[in-house]
Chain A
Amino acid sequence: MSTVSVRDVSVAFEAVHVFDGLSLDIQEGEFIVLLGPSGCGKSTLLNAIAGLLDVAEGQIWINGKNVTWEEPKDRGIAMVFQSYALYPRMSVRENMSFGLKMAKTPKPEIEKRVARAAELLQITPLLNRRPDQLSGGQRQRVAIGRALVRDAAVFLFDEPLSNLDAKLRNELRVEIKRLHARLGKTTMVYVTHDQIEAMTLADRIVVMKEQKIQQIGTPDEIYHRPANLFVAGFVGSPQMNFIKGRLENTGEGLSFLAGDRRLSLAGYPFATTPSAGQEVVLGVRPEHLEIAGNGIWPGFKVDIVEPMGADTVIWCSDGGGSVQVRTSGSRKAAPGENLTLHLTSTEVSLFSAESGERL
């Protein structure tokens, strides 16, 4: 059974349709990440699920109940915001117990739940402080704690780590993942524009662009089998290399042809039936380009070298286009060096040049 089900939902701001007929099913205990650039509608969708935004059409179901017309508090959800949104005039303890107080929970029960959440997030020593006496990381911990005490079936996160610096972001990311594992059956819906957060946290990623869902899949599927050019380009850093070319029928089956470079596509898992002569875009991840003396694509010249410690990204070009190659950190390269690259058909993605869809 799915905990959250978005059925054919449309949202409109004063006659302007934000999105139309969007559907999404989220399983119980699943960690779903809504990923996309700013303005893609991911936060709007989250707000619609939370009930902070009225939907124009469609239904929203949470835990087997149609909550389309329910108030946020009655939906069995908890939410964590980017700006923490802690009540500034209340102590941490009051912040965490506010929701329970509103729901007229008995005092001992409130104290028990606050203590447990504080314990879980290691913020017990901070309980009597005020939000302005906390650091950014501590504030977000408190905000998560405030969501935790609600004992909700569904947690909604709206870019919770975007205001933190890189180090804290990594720490809290791991903590959220640990929390999800420890809570067991709690469903989490997490909005972010950060693909690392999406890849590391998600059971399934929903990639969105311009108010439309581009692809829903596990991080592995999203990364290795992107559904279209947008997903392929958005996920992965450094970006996937795109090479324009066309399909040709050679002796041993279809091949990809770009200028005088060619790649036999034997073994490529076509999703559609391709036709020879079709204009296509070949996508290949930087780590799938191998520097090998006996490679199939010679004649690349090193342009820029970016050492990143664990690995090195080499930008090289063959006069026409430039590609990025990710190689081990121990590989030294100097600008101007000649390289021969190798790639195999099972590790590439092919997209229609016309529609951008995966072939």
Chain B
Amino acid sequence: MSAAEPQGRRPRRLTIGRIGVYAFLATSALFFLLPLWIMIVTSLKPMEEIRLGNILALPAAMTFDAWIKAWSSACTGLECNGISVGFWNSVRILIPSVILSIIAGAVNGYALSFWRVKGANVMFGILLLGAFIPYQVFLYPLVRIFSLTGVYNSLLCIVLVHVIFGLPTMTLLFRNYYAGLPLELFKAARIDGGGFWSIFFRVILPMSTPIIVVAAILQVTGIWNDFIFGLTFAGRQNLPMTVQLNNIVNSTQGERAYNVDMAATMLAALVPLVVYFVSGRWFVRGIAAGAVKG
């Protein structure tokens, strides 16, 4: 008898190597999930239970007290209004910063890739260079400039800083996306009589949804997680959530309230988490939409 002739689908075999790979992947996933697990269970335990020291154990008497306290009454320095103040500050910083930096990046990218302005490449090179210089170098000069112009320590100041520092990445992102669009489309719009702004708003921007989503994800997570700009430029009234989280964790007197710290940290991480979860399907849709032939 001859062996079975190969036909149809090739059979999949589970080799030892394959099992090893899966085992490694599973362990890695568990390893990275462990801190999250500890944070969640700790935040749901009362302090008496935490003192027992079983940090991996499920809470015996589950309570949301720590979350409520973290949100509304934990002390950030002298004030005890919880992290909610910082949350709304962050939102107020986030929304204008994200919108303005995306608009600036889109217009920049559009001008650089379609209009071939004289010196565009030099301009772009300088802009990119900005992305590689460490932020710390800019801090002091910027503080001086802003205080001279009188906008230091205000919402406007922190928004401006975020827009300026978002410019290199946003421009790069949009320029590269636009470089992938057919130039003939732009030529057709020129023949049809479109000007700089009408081509941008009527032809280019409607095609930019995928890249706008990507830009928004980058900016939302980046600006939300920012600490040093918020601390330096926002002023006491507008300190973002990250700074207040730091204050909560560091300004405890007496016993350290681990459950409140954990809950506050989770609250601060919520917005980027939501962005990732929601944008997952948008990401795919964006890529698919970009693949449609013009």
Q: Is B271 an interface residue (CB 8 A)?
A: no
Q: Is B144 an interface residue (CB 8 A)?
A: no
Q: Are A72 and B198 in contact (CB under 8 A)?
A: no
In the complex where A89-B206, A98-B202, A102-B198 touch, is A84 in contact with B191 (Cβ < 8 A)?
no
Q: Which of A33-41, A73-81, A121-129, A178-186 contacts B (4 or more CB under 8 A)?
A: A73-81
Q: Is A312 an interface residue (CB 8 A)?
A: no
Q: Are A83 and B184 in contact (CB under 8 A)?
A: yes
Q: Is A85 an interface residue (CB 8 A)?
A: yes
Q: Is A233 an interface residue (CB 8 A)?
A: no
Alpha-carbon separation in the docked complex, A52 to B184 (Å): 10
Identify which of residues 164-212 in chain B touch chain A, using a CB-to-CB cut-off of 8 Å.
182, 184-185, 187-194, 198, 202-203, 206-207
Residues of B within 8 A of A89 (CB): 206-207
Q: Are A102 and B187 in contact (CB under 8 A)?
A: no
Q: Are B207 and A88 in contact (CB under 8 A)?
A: yes
**Chain A 58-102 interface mask (CB, 8 Å, partner B; 1/0):** 000000000000011100011101111111111000000011001
Q: Which residue of B lies closest to A104 (CB)?
A: B193
Q: Specify the main secondary structure of chain B where it touches its partner.
A: helix
Q: Are A87 and B203 in contact (CB under 8 A)?
A: yes
Residues of A within 8 A of B192 (CB): 73, 98-99, 102, 146, 150
In the complex where A52-B187, A79-B188, A89-B207 touch, is A84 in contact with B194 (Cβ < 8 A)?
no
Q: Are A73 and B190 in contact (CB under 8 A)?
A: yes
Residues of B within 8 A of A88 (CB): 206-207, 292, 294
Closest chain-B Cβ to A98's Cβ sits at a distance in Å of 5
Alpha-carbon separation in the docked complex, A87 to B188 (Å): 9
Name, among B193, B198, B203, B206, the residue most crowded by chain A CB atoms within 10 Å (CB to CB). B193
Q: Is A1 an interface residue (CB 8 A)?
A: no
Residues of B within 8 A of A90 (CB): 206
Alpha-carbon separation in the docked complex, A93 to B187 (Å): 19
Q: Are A77 and B191 in contact (CB under 8 A)?
A: yes
Closest chain-A Cβ to B212's Cβ sits at a distance in Å of 13
Identify which of residues 124-175 in chain B touch chain A, using a CB-to-CB cut-off of 8 Å.
none
Closest chain-B Cβ to A183's Cβ sits at a distance in Å of 18
Q: Are A87 and B185 in contact (CB under 8 A)?
A: yes
Q: Are A102 and B194 in contact (CB under 8 A)?
A: yes
* Interface size in chain B (residues, C-beta < 8 A): 19
**Chain B 202-235 interface mask (CB, 8 Å, partner A; 1/0):** 1100110000000000000000000000000000
Q: Which residue of B lies closest to A82 (CB)?
A: B184
Q: Is A131 an interface residue (CB 8 A)?
A: yes
In the complex where A73-B193, A102-B193 touch, is A79 in contact with B187 (Cβ < 8 A)?
yes
Alpha-carbon separation in the docked complex, A82 to B156 (Å): 48
Q: Is A50 an interface residue (CB 8 A)?
A: yes
Q: Which residue of A lies closest to B206 (CB)?
A: A89
In the complex where A98-B202, A102-B198 touch, is A85 in contact with B193 (Cβ < 8 A)?
no
Q: Are A85 and B185 in contact (CB under 8 A)?
A: yes
Alpha-carbon separation in the docked complex, A52 to B186 (Å): 10
Q: Are B292 and A72 in contact (CB under 8 A)?
A: no
Alpha-carbon separation in the docked complex, A72 to B192 (Å): 8
Closest chain-B Cβ to A131's Cβ sits at a distance in Å of 7
Alpha-carbon separation in the docked complex, A71 to B191 (Å): 8
10 A-B pairs whose Cβ atoms sit less than 8 Å apart in the complex: A52-B191, A72-B193, A78-B191, A82-B184, A85-B188, A87-B202, A102-B193, A103-B193, A146-B192, A158-B184
- Smallest CB-CB A-B distances: 10 pairs: A99-B192, A73-B193, A89-B206, A102-B193, A85-B184, A85-B188, A81-B184, A85-B185, A72-B191, A132-B292
| Further pairs besides A72-B193, A73-B191, A88-B292: 9, Cβ < 8 Å | A47-B187, A83-B182, A83-B184, A85-B294, A86-B294, A87-B188, A88-B294, A89-B206, A90-B206
